[in-house]
């Protein structure tokens, strides 16, 4: 019985750890971020792993990225500009930025 409870607890813990990452990927998909970005490869825009590496160690990185998600930008990753995303709320932008920075 203890083994079964341990197994159930282990599975539940793994699910709880992976759910926030999945939820943020779902938010990125719902907000059309994944049309131009991928987690691990360049599409139209940089991969999220490349973005995380570029901004690693910067204390204000999440705020910078959240602003860029909403307002758009150009010149940081090449000639193709990132359009503004008015459909993304400030809270959603911060959640997305935090998730992007966690990609390794």
Residue ranges of domains in the chain, CATH in brackets:
2-101 (1.10.760.10)
- Residue 73: phi, psi to the nearest 5? 175, 175
Tokens representing residue 65 in the block: 């990225």
pLDDT in tens, the chain (104 residues): 545 444 454 444 444 444 455 679 999 999 999 999 999 999 999 999 999 999 999 999 999 999 999 999 999 999 999 999 999 999 999 999 999 999 98
Q: What pLDDT score does 23 carry? A: 72
Q: What pLDDT score does 5 carry? A: 40
Q: What pLDDT score does 16 carry? A: 41
User: d(Cα 29, Cα 87) in Å, to the nearest integer?
Assistant: 13
Taking Cα atoms as reference points, which of 22, 21, 33, 16 lies closest to residue 93?
A: 33
User: d(Cα 57, Cα 43) in Å, to the nearest integer?
Assistant: 25
């Amino acid at each position: 019985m203890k083994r079964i409870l341990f197994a159930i607890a282990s599975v539940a813990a793994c699910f709880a750890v992976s759910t926030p990452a999945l939820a943020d990927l779902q938010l990125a998909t719902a907000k059309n971020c994944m049309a131009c970005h991928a987690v691990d490869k360049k599409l139209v825009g940089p991969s999220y792993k490349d973005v995380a590496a570029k901004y690693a160690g910067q204390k204000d990185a999440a705020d910078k990225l959240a602003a860029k998600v909403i307002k758009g930008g150009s010149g940081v990753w090449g000639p193709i500009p990132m359009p503004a995303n008015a459909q993304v709320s400030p809270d959603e932008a911060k959640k997305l930025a935090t998730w992007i920075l966690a990609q390794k």
